[in-house]
Structure 1
Amino acid sequence: MSFQTNLYLSINKDQWPIVYRNEYNVSFMGLEKLHPFDAHKWKNVYKFLKESGLVNKKTVVVPNEATREDLLMVHTKKYLKKLNCSFYVAKIAEVVALVLVPNYFVQRAYLKPMRFQTGGSILAGKLALERGWAVNIGGGFHHCSSSKGGGFCAYADVTLLIKFLFFSLSKEGDDYTPPTEMIYSEKTVRRVMIVDLDAHQGNGYERDFKDDANVYIMDVYNKWIYPLDIEARKAIRKQVQLDFFVSDETYLRLVKKYLNESLSEFEPQLIVYNAGTDILKGDKLGGLSVTPKAYENTNSEV
């Protein structure tokens, strides 16, 4: 079976490799407010960047929606079929009221925005190789694996981003047949490091890459909160477990120390950085106490 994707777009020289579209945002008759997660945060980030003069409609890159065929690069058919059940999606989104909503509306209001964000992550991987860096304002669904969603994460965009690079860049022409196992050639991306500074453990992609020596995982997270996935932790090559209310000084010291150690142990061709803002003081889910100033310093380190 041949495989094509419309996710790998080419961009103009005057465009920044910053990926976003308005359809990222989840709005569903106010039901999204039943979860402490800000379902409009992507719009707020874009608005801030736009008001700061860093992006505008002409310079931002607008991604396409990931199709079912794109998703099957990683996800099982059984998992995608489960997303047609509102009860199962309600468990992933952690919004119980979705159980009572017809799946058609769940697809349009929640899953479709997630597919746009997933397409954005995959595109950002390609653009990072072309430009040296790229940012997807959305995505980072690190609790979703190939066969299981959770923690508001319905699609495994981190895994998909990496698998697309491992696989699609080795093809010749636009059509190719996926092999049973990924084949790495000298001309493709073969070594990727994931640096995950979200307050929660990235158990989704960890389960997907647990037996892949070509993916090095550094995960810095609060060890006392969701998902507490002990099995997935086995995939972490550099694990930094934090306690509640860690201070700026301690946090920055640990990140710098273990990032340097990671880079001395593994030479990546690409770094996928999952920058979770839930490490900030006052976040209801993260349980940490990092200030905005320290957060800025963390981003500069990575």
Structure 2
Amino acid sequence: MHKISSLFGGGSSVQTYDATVRHSQSTATVHNTYDSSHLGLPAYNGYGVTVSSGTLAMLADATWANRVVKSVIPSGAGNQKTDIINSSGESWARLHLANAKYKHGGSTNHLKRAQEFQGGNCAVHASVAAAALQSRGVRYPVSRVRASLPDGNSHEFLLLGDRRQSGDRNTVVVDSWPTYPSACTLDQAILHDASNGTHHPVTHLLESYRNEIWESPVDSADVRRLTKIKVLGTDDLNEMLRKAKLPKLDSEQLVNRALSDDRFGQFDVRVATDPSTLYKADSGTEWQSFDPILR
């Protein structure tokens, strides 16, 4: 997992970058790199799923959106245990400070948190993905989803395509919030929590629990925030932590503080689908996965 300091250095001078063009292009895949147990899965199944050619294109767009999100938030989600531990508390520090400055919801505040702090929860990840796809000029419907979870928490992500017309097999999920996100179709989307061993099919969540699905275009000015990400370096971040009377970066105290904070929920969702799943178009013969290593 990358930290901002490892990408840009620890100085306090303001640097900016365009997240829509600046991201790594690794050819390594999650399922060929990590054992399934590392991801909270009992095994890889390697299912083959046949979809329409349009769905295959949406899976590619979803993968690109995941790359953009992880370029904006390289330390990971501030309410994911694995991200907190791997970043030595940095992912939580960025989420905490961002929410302290921009307290309200909505895409504008989510994108301000991402632009200025490079941190956030699932809602921020979803807003960045939505802005990225809008910047790409996609022509299919992009819907925002807020689904209630059995434990009383909720989760936000995106759906690409019209589920009512195309069905679950040809509707694509964009969920950049897991530690190792993979694009997938809705019928293959499952929230796997490695800490408690739960596995929640997203279709079941949508059918059995309260949820909201809406189209929410991002303001063009907020879309442009992705082209001017303001790097919050380690020196400035440590100074903000000091003023907030919080432990410094890379300290055991910060990690413990982060892991004890449940205001945003505490999750360990490393994957939200089986990353070994292979897809091909109904008119084609080539199978491919959509689980590149994004950091």
**Same structural fold, with TM-score higher than 0.5 when normalized by the shorter chain:** no
**TM-score (norm. length: structure 2):** 0.29
**TM-score (norm. length: structure 1):** 0.28
Higher relative contact order (CA 8 A, sep 6+): 2
